């Protein structure tokens, strides 16, 4: 079969592209301004306290890092599982994964208060700390995915190397997400974190969030550049997304049922599931209902390929994922640690009290700045590397080459 040599031709930009670029640039500037404001005044101007030391920037950062792993779903389907329909989309998958991870790490670095302290982490390693392992996993992920992209794009490299590179990237992304989930699973002092289920839960979350972000980015790039995008091609990814959403709900149920079985965690479970205020609302209303059950109902009602539906489903999954990370990160800190099991403790240092936390505007802008950075980096990568075919309609033939 003859190969269409215009498959990766350049597509002219539209005025909408410039408008989108200006919006993202505005968020980048706002994120930089928020960083400078917090760096000058200190973290006292944020909603974070001595009780809640990981705030809204960490929610955004963890979301981006987890989604970065899952953004490689499409590339893995193409090279690891030999699904030819995903091959034209695999390059964007790699670029998006690197961009999302870079955006998440940027938020973390800027939230340190003193970004120069990052040099200490890069030159002094404590291998008994999960944070040290995560630094190696993050930097290694970028290197592995970069090699994976090079193998796919360099025509002088024999195609036989694509699958080994894809398998390595697939295994590395599982290790990366396991490390991120283990940050919480290994914190035994916090009743909301201490659970081995955190690692597989975060892996399932990465599959769902990464694919949802990928679908939205793919649709946006195609719309801005005038590329044809077949509804059935997107519908296949949305049906796959349904399996990932169901897996997230399953592991979430296992997490809370396991905690309810253990007496030491029953107080925290009541806090999250019944009387936690905003955390209970986010859990049941946003995470479970809007981010889980509603998308599943839409997908399995046979509406995945209809106009607007993939966008709506992906947006709801992302909204539910953000709520889930917020409940895990912030809710886990808001519930007090049990300093002396079996005894009631109270003091002027908020011992035994539910910690209050309200995200401040600088925190939100810093997080949105990281999202904007990831999207800008993806757009620039797609433009410079020309990684998207010009025709992604359902009738366009796809080869296994």
Tens-place pLDDT, residues 308-330? 889 999 999 999 999 999 999 99
Are residues 67 and 180 located together in one domain of the fold? yes
This prediction's pTM? 0.90
What is the rounded distance in angstroms from the CA atom of residue 207 to the CA atom of residue 213?
A: 10
Nearest to residue 308, comparing CAs of 215, 211, 184? 215
Beta bridge mates, 256: none
Please give the residue range of the domain that contains residue 318: 241-336
Are 260 and 154 found together in one domain? no
88 in any annotated domain: yes
In a domain, 367, yes or no: no
71 plus 151 within the same structural domain: yes
**Rounded mean pLDDT of 110-128?**
72
Q: Does residue 392 sit in helix, strand or coil?
A: strand
What pLDDT, on the 0 to 100 scale, is given for residue 297? 93
Residue where a domain terminates, one of 309, 336, 363: 336
Per DSSP, 358 falls in state -
Are 62 and 169 found together in one domain? yes
Contact 212, 321 (CB under 8 A): yes
Domain annotation covers residue 263:
yes
Percent over 90 (pLDDT), the chain:
49
User: pLDDT tens digits for 8-35?
Assistant: 555 555 677 778 889 999 999 999 999 9
Residue 33 lies in a domain: no
Length, in residues, of the chain:
401
By C-alpha distance, which of 109, 79, 337, 72 is closest to 209?
72
Sign of torsion, CA 21 23 25 31? Answer: negative
Asked, for residue 265, whether it belongs to a domain, the answer is: yes
Question: Confidence class of residue 185 from pLDDT cuts 50, 70 and 90?
Answer: confident
Cβ atoms of 134 and 182 within 8 Å: the answer is: no
Spatial distance between the Cα atoms of 60 and 108, rounded to a whole number of angstroms = 9
Same domain? 161 vs 67: yes
Q: Does 172 lie in the same domain as 69?
A: yes
Confidence of residue 157 (pLDDT cuts 50, 70, 90): confident
Domain count, the chain: 2
Residue range 263-267: mean pLDDT, rounded = 83
* CA 354 – CA 310 distance, rounded (Å): 39
Q: Which of 318, 336, 354 is the last residue of a domain?
A: 336
Residue 59 lies in a domain: yes
Query: How big is the CA angle at 232 (ends 230 and 233), to the nearest 5 degrees?
Result: 65
- Whether residues 180 and 271 fall in one domain: no
* Residue spans of alpha helices (H) in 226-281: 231-261, 266-273, 278-281
Last residue of a domain, one of 283, 302, 336: 336
* Segment 213-259, tens digit of pLDDT: 999 999 999 888 888 888 888 888 999 999 999 999 999 999 999 98
Domain-embedded: residue 99: yes
Kindly state whether residues 179 and 288 are assigned to the same domain.
no
Is 277 inside a domain boundary?
A: yes
Q: What is the pLDDT of residue 305?
A: 66
Q: What local confidence, expressed as pLDDT, does residue 330 receive? A: 95
- How far is residue 57's CA from residue 59's CA, in Å, rounded to a whole number? 5
**Could you tell me the pLDDT band of residue 168, with boundaries at 50, 70 and 90?**
very high
What's the 3-state SS for 292-335? HHHHHHHHHHHHCCCCCHHHHHHHHHHHHHHHHHHHHHHHHHHC
Q: Are residues 85 and 173 in the same domain?
A: yes
Residue 113 DSSP symbol:
S
63 and 167, same domain (yes or no): yes
Q: What is the DSSP track for 270-290?
A: HHHHTS-THHHHIIIIIIIII
Angle between helices 15-41 and 90-110 (to 10 degrees): 30
| 245 in the same domain as 149 | no
> What is the average pLDDT score of the chain?
86
Q: Which residue reads 């296992």 in tokens?
A: 254
Q: Are strands 391-392 and 228-229 parallel, antiparallel or unpaired?
A: parallel
């Amino acid at each position: 079969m003859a190969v269409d040599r215009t498959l990766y031709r350049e597509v002219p930009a539209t005025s909408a592209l410039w408008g989108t670029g200006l919006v993202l640039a505005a968020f980048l500037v706002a994120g930089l301004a928020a960083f400078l404001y917090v760096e000058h005044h200190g973290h006292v101007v944020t909603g974070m306290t001595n009780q809640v030391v990981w705030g809204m920037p960490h929610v955004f950062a963890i979301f981006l890092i987890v989604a970065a792993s899952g953004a490689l779903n499409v590339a893995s389907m193409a090279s690891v599982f030999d699904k030819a329909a995903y091959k034209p989309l695999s390059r964007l998958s790699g670029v998006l994964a690197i961009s999302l991870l870079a955006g998440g790490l940027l938020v973390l670095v800027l939230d340190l208060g003193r970004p120069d302290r990052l040099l200490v982490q890069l030159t002094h390693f404590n291998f008994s700390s999960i944070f040290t392992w995560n630094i190696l996993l993050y930097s290694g992920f970028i290197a592995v995915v970069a090699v994976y992209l090079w193998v796919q794009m360099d025509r002088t490299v024999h195609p036989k190397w694509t699958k080994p590179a894809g398998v390595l990237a697939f295994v590395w992304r599982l290790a990366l997400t396991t490390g991120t989930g283990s940050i919480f699973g290994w914190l035994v002092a916090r009743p909301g974190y201490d659970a081995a289920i955190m690692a597989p839960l975060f892996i399932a979350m990465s599959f769902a969030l990464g694919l949802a972000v990928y679908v939205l980015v793919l649709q946006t790039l195609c719309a801005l550049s005038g590329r044809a995008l077949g509804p059935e091609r997107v519908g296949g990814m949305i049906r796959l997304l349904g399996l990932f959403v169901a897996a997230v709900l399953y592991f979430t149920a296992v997490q809370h049922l396991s905690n309810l079985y253990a007496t030491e965690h029953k107080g925290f479970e009541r806090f999250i599931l019944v009387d936690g205020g905003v955390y209970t609302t986010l859990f049941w209303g946003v995470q479970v209902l809007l981010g889980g059950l509603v998308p599943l109902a839409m997908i399995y009602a046979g509406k995945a390929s209809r106009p607007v539906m993939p966008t709506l489903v992906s947006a709801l999954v992302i909204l539910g994922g953000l709520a889930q990370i917020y409940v895990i990160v912030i809710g886990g800190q808001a519930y007090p640690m049990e300093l002396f099991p079996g005894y009631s403790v109270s003091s002027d240092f908020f011992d035994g009290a539910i910690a209050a936390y309200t995200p401040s505007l600088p925190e939100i802008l810093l997080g949105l700045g990281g999202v904007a950075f990831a999207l800008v980096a993806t757009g620039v990568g797609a433009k410079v590397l020309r990684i998207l075919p010009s025709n992604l309609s359902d009738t366009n033939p796809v080869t296994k080459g």
